[in-house]
Amino acid sequence: MRRHKGLYKRKRLWWIMYSDGHGRTIRESAGTTLQREAEYILNCRKKAVREGKLPDLKKIKNCKLVELAQDYLKWSERQRVHKTKKYWIPQLMEAFGNLNVSDLNPKIIEQWQGERLKKNKPSTVNRLTTCLKHMVNKGVEWGMTSEETLKSVRKVKQLKGENKRLRYLTIEELQRLLDCCRQHLKSIILVAVHTGMRKGEILNLKWDQVDLRNNFILLDKTKNGERREIPINGTLTELFASMPRSLESEYVFVDKEGKPYGNIKRSFSTALRMAEIRDFHFHDLRHTFASHSVMTGVDLTSVKELLGHKSLTMALRYSHLAPGHKRKAVEMLDKVLTGSQSEKRLHNLFTFSGVESDTTSHKSL
């Protein structure tokens, strides 16, 4: 791993070195043996210096978690996941609000996880835990808690046994569903299964984001905060070109009054019931897009980029659907290790080693 400027080791631990913006060089222990963690801490310090928010490391505020939670909730308003945060954060405030942030440790958090498991699935508890970790992480950036607290909280592991649900429609199921949809819902579902976009991204889609000349959709605000360009295929080009545009609204999908659809839950549930499709949610259309992409030979890296995931981990859930990828690998190996050319290479190898192969000996008899 390449050495990062501003990092050095002392007795197995990484230390960081940076300027406080006033000509003074600060050296402090990152408190970790992992270089990537030390780099992260160093980058946080440099960012705080640039923004004039460098905390006095000797006077870090020992605040209540409820204070941090309130600031974090306000900060999250700029994110698309704010609605979810509004649901999770009050629950964390109820569980840990009376504690100082610095009092958090693996024992306290794991005991709370055990209590939550009595009424929630592991996946729900994991989402709450992830939210707590990110909140503490922001607390370090804001000078409301210490790196030591963050390192302690990060030691809490994700619960195993999480329900890794992967439900997608077969081609026959998808056709049944489309046949049972009203026109506006049919168009929304077609966009979902041909792009992998999230429901919120589709319902908030505006015409100025749809480029039919260059055939792509531009998403400026996504769940992970990054821009995403999504190619438009022939089906969607034809769909968008045939859709009427409301003079009263800039949104693509609008009702008779020109207002964007706020919720399609009822009409979607009705279509599912009529199509006799069970155990299916709108988000599973995203799985349908990814699953059929992989089954037709699209590589996982491309699927990751199309879905807008930051890492390949989420896309790996579809790897088992790749058409015969393991068989192809074995067949390629078989071609290399068999045949006349392979036999010659093996013969030369054994001859060079002073050993004659059984195949050659047999032919010479």
The confidence score (pLDDT) of residue 271 equals 96
> H or E element: which one contains 84?
helix 82-96
E strand or H helix at 124: helix 122-141
* CA dist 45 → 18, 19, 41, 309, 322 (Å): 8, 9, 6, 27, 43
SS3 29: strand
Whole-number Å distance between alpha carbons of 249 and 265: 22
- Greatest CA span in the chain, whole angstroms? 91
Residue 243 has what DSSP assignment? S
Q: What is the pTM of this model?
A: 0.54
3-state secondary structure of 183: helix
* Rounded-to-integer distance, Cα 130 and Cα 154, Å: 9
Per-residue model confidence (pLDDT) at position 224: 61
Identify the bridge partners of residue 229 per DSSP, sorted by sequence position.
218
Which residues, listed in sequence order, are joined to residue 64 by a DSSP beta bridge?
A: 100
Mind listing the pLDDT tens digit of every residue in the chain (365 residues)? 455 678 888 877 788 888 877 777 887 777 777 888 888 888 888 888 888 776 655 555 568 899 999 999 988 887 767 778 888 899 999 999 888 898 899 999 999 999 998 898 888 899 899 999 999 988 888 878 887 888 889 999 888 765 566 889 999 999 999 999 999 999 999 999 999 999 989 999 999 999 999 999 998 766 666 788 999 999 999 999 999 887 778 999 998 888 899 889 999 999 999 999 998 999 999 999 999 888 888 888 888 888 888 778 777 777 777 766 556 555 665 665 665 444 444 444 444 334 444 444 333 33
Q: How far apart are CA 279 and CA 161, in angstroms?
A: 20
> What one-character DSSP code corresponds to residue 251?
B
pLDDT at 352: 39
CA geometry: angle at 193 spanning 286 and 170, to 5°? Answer: 90
Residue 16 to residue 49: CA distance in whole angstroms: 14
| Number of DSSP helices (H) and strands (E) in the chain, helices first | 16, 6
User: 308: which 2 tokens?
Assistant: 């807008």
Six token digits for residue 142 = 């804001």
The residue type found at 225 is G
Give the integer Cα–Cα distance in Å for 278 and 289.
18
- Three-class secondary structure of residue 290 per DSSP: helix
In angstroms, the CA 114 to CA 12 distance is: 35
One-letter amino acid identity for 17?
A: M
Cα–Cα distance, 246 to 251 (Å, whole number): 8
Beta-bridged to residue 217, according to DSSP, are 210, 230
Query: What is the DSSP code (8-state) at residue 339?
Result: S
Cβ pair 336, 342 in contact under 8 A: yes
- Closest by Cα among 169, 171, 139 to 154: 139
DSSP 206-233: BGGGEETTTTEEEESS-TTS--EEEE--
